[in-house]
Structure 1
Amino acid sequence: MTREEKATVIQDLTATLADNTTIYLADISGLNALQTTNLRRACFKANVSLSVVKNTLLAKAMEASDKDFGELPELLKGNTSMMLSEVANAPAKVIQGFRKKSAKPVLKGAYIEETVYVGDHLIDALSDIKSKEEMIGEIVGLLQSPAKNVISALKSSGGKIAGIIKTLSER
């Protein structure tokens, strides 16, 4: 690979890092062709982009990026695959699901919404992270529940003051 090609790859990786807020680094070495194909299919179904990257080029792209990747450049040893997703827990769930059949992939680290996670022991915690949409749904549900209680109390009593007070006192 020539210097110009390397510079182009670094620019592309820097742009990719800038455009994504969920970046997982994993080791998929040791997987055979069939297992790698199955992993790629699982990633595609979960809307996760999987690509194998050269460690030195990714380290330079991280250095050139505006984001603070903390300890992640130090983890770039051996085989490294980059998993990108819009949903924070999607790559972790793909890794967990795939590890039911195989010991790989192993999570090296992750960058999620300006937070750096290092180590494979965090895979369970990362898979439990709720997406932005899930959090909004929970908040809306919590905000709606008191209003639903009042409305159901009003409907159940037929609108009579004594019935409303009785229903509310029971709750």
Structure 2
Amino acid sequence: MALNLAEKQAIVAEVAEVAAKAYSAVAAEYRGLTVAQMDKLRVQARENNVYLRVVKNTLVQRAVEGTDFECMREGLTGPLVMAFSMEDPGSAARIIKDFVKENKLMEVKMISISGKLLAPSELDTLAQMPTYDQAISLLMAVMKAPVEKLTRTINEVPGKLVRTVAAIRDAKQAA
């Protein structure tokens, strides 16, 4: 079914709006997958706030103009599904990585983050990036560690004094 000009413009506008807000993008070839498998991928993407869309490559090329994902324009060939991470940089990579484990027919073609085009082999690296909450908890742990160490060090001085006095008392009582 052919799209008319208004429908194409609406799709380009929608994808451009998503691309402007997204943290990262993954393009994967879905050739050979069944409709049921693609539906399963879409459900997983919705649950993890990942924008997933199969769009004509020429429309995606127009949509990513002027965004961080413009570096992907030349590689948009073949039947591709585009996954944009909307919450954290690694969410789309995690969804695609998990899906590729179960469905060997899907092949990652391109990954982009912060205007850089990464090799498909970098999918694991991007998928391991922490979520926002995980990053905050790691930062808080790093910030809290020096304070805790200082507190333990300061607390050790009176503790050592008490142990020394107790040892002297025990030595005098034993003599």
TM-score when normalising by structure 2: 0.77
Residue 115 of structure 1 pairs with residue 123 of structure 2: no
CA contact (8 A) 1:21 1:114 kept: no
Q: Report which of the two structures shows the higher radius of gyration computed on alpha carbons.
A: 2
TM superposition shift of 1:153: 4.3
Cross-structure match for 1:73: 73
* Residues 15-40 of structure 1: per-residue CA shift (max 9 Å, x gap): 22212222221212211122112212
CA contact (8 A) 1:23 1:83 kept: yes
CA contact (8 A) 2:68 2:114 kept: no
Q: Provide the C-alpha distance between the structure 2 equivalents of 1:163 and 1:57, rounded to a whole number of angstroms.
A: 76
Residue 126 of structure 1 pairs with residue 126 of structure 2: yes
Q: What does residue range 26-37 of structure 1 map to in structure 2 within 5 Å? A: 26-37=28-39
SS of 1:107's partner is: strand
Q: Provide the C-alpha distance between the structure 1 equivalents of 2:145 and 2:162, rounded to a whole number of angstroms.
A: 21
Cross-structure match for 1:91: 92
Q: Provide the C-alpha distance between the structure 1 equivalents of 2:152 and 2:96, rounded to a whole number of angstroms.
A: 44
Name the % identity: 22
Deviant stretches of 4+, over 4 Å: 153-157
Cross-structure match for 2:41: 39
Q: Which runs of 5+ in 1 are unaligned?
A: 165-171
If each structure's helix is expressed as a fraction of its own residues, which one has the higher value?
A: 2
Q: Which runs of 5+ in 2 are unaligned?
A: 164-175
SS of 1:129's partner is: coil
CA contact (8 A) 2:20 2:68 kept: yes
Cross-structure match for 2:166: none
SS of 1:7's partner is: helix
Question: When the two structures are aligned, how many residues end up with a matched partner?
Answer: 160
